[in-house]
Structure 1
């Protein structure tokens, strides 16, 4: 399910709550309990997992990575991203 279509969330100012699972067996995004579960295969060290999440989200949203900013949760599993205009 890595080709999840989230373009309806790509409006500027939209805040997207995600729960990240690092070291997963595959990269995927699934909706769950009003937020997105994001599974990435990378390890959670030196920002690698965050970078993988941004890459996956930007592809699903259809926006450049530069339009996604991590608002909260730099080192937590629960993160909040905002789409910039």
Structure 2
């Protein structure tokens, strides 16, 4: 299961997306999760009127959670978030 929550912005609206990986696509989701630098130090905070992203991922072997300012949502983080948003139910 992967959950993404976006908060902040000018209107302060909270949006959320999630996906439950099936047996057919679990390897693809785990690969997206593993590419993200979960343990890397993050720079700065969200800033005024900027989005914050909360990402939670649960695999059979581990559970990960990370909060990122919009400015840090790049590379593998953006790929994961965009995939979850596209597949969200």
Question: Which of the two has greater helix per residue?
Answer: 2
Larger Rg: 2
TM-score, with normalisation over the residues of structure 2?
0.24
